[in-house]
Amino acid sequence: MAELQRAWDAGDAVMPVDQRLPAAAQEELVERMGASVVVDAAGRHRRRGGWEVEAGDALVMATSGSTGDPKGAVLTHTAIQANAMATSSALQVDPSTDRWLACLPLAHVGGLAVVVRALLTDTPLEVHDGFDTAAVEAAARQGATLTSLVPTALARIDAKAFRAILLGGSAMPAQRPPNTVATYGMTETFSGVVYEGWPLEGVELRIQDNEVQLRCPMLLRTYRDGTDPRTEDGWFPTGDAGALSDDGQLSVFGRADDMITTGAEKVWPVAVERVLAELPAISEVAVVGRPDPEWGQAVTAVIVPADQAQPPELDALREAVKAHLPAYCAPHAVELVGELPRTPLGKAQRWRI
């Protein structure tokens, strides 16, 4: 944290690098993002070929890579402060009684946002070097009241130990504790800006051609390569499909390019995954569309079985889905795998499945 503050005091921007990446991948990321200085255990090292940031830039955050190669979102001090203040207001954070726990990777927005919220609101903070069930539960016993998790981590702890838990990073579980908050956001907004479908203060939502778009002070200034993804009037096309209710609550269906067209029907993978994930025979599942000469795309369940010796049968999966969704959503095929490719925050990398 001291290095973060030093860089900001000097007018520099910071790019956290995931130390779990192989050395070659770290160097490639540093090169692609145009970093000028590398800080590691051995000290500070100036690099050739880096390029400057603009005044007011605070962070260059690599996007999750869930849809391909990561991009560098350039976030200003104004943007990250807007996120921290809106989040703290929504959660009614009281620095005299609350304490944040950061246990997600700090190289990703879900972890670093916790740190920044605490720093900007003078709220006590505890930082862990990654998620560990015993350490997280110990932190709660010792006074941590707020944290941010992904659903896979939530399932491993006693959620009641915290006053509130922000959830993001992947599809929400069908059943979850009442003190959890389903968030919607992205690296480009410095984490969640929509809580339980409702936008935080200062956040505008609209649907254009079935795509979720948002406009808010938390948005990135640009990508590191100089491209600005915003429209001329400041709206950010998220690439997610969704809808707004009559009173303005957002429902997100999934990535627009993840939608499966089978015959003349449209199938959202997330809806099918939610049904299948509840089955005891399934440990992990991703639903994708495979090319099919008859249907165009065949709904396919890619499954990590709970018991490799007794994998679920296709007929049982189809019946389970048809009990909750239209029959055309039922999978036509099953593929068994040992694990699903995921980002460090637990998002399935569909483009690799």
Give the tens place of pLDDT for each residue, 119-174: 999 999 999 988 999 999 999 999 999 999 988 889 899 999 999 999 987 678 77
Q: Residue 22, Cβ neighbours under 10 Å: how many?
A: 8
pLDDT < 70 positions in the chain: 64-69, 170, 344-346
Q: CA distances (Å), 304 to each of 146, 214, 307, 315, 334, in order? A: 32, 35, 9, 17, 10
- Give the integer Cα–Cα distance in Å for 12 and 181: 33
Q: So where are the chain's domains?
A: 1-256, 259-352
Residue 66's pLDDT is 46
The pairing of strands 125-127 and 100-102 is parallel
Closest of 71, 63, 5, 69 to residue 39, by C-alpha: 5
Residue 68's pLDDT is 53
| Tens-digit pLDDT profile for residues 24-65 | 888 888 999 999 999 888 888 899 889 999 999 999 998 865
Whether the domain at 1-256 and the domain at 259-352 fall into the same CATH topology: no
Q: CATH classification of 259-352 is 3.10.20.310, yes or no?
A: no
Residue 349's pLDDT is 78
Q: CATH classification of 1-256 is 3.40.50.12780, yes or no?
A: yes
Residue 174's pLDDT is 74
Residue 64's pLDDT is 64
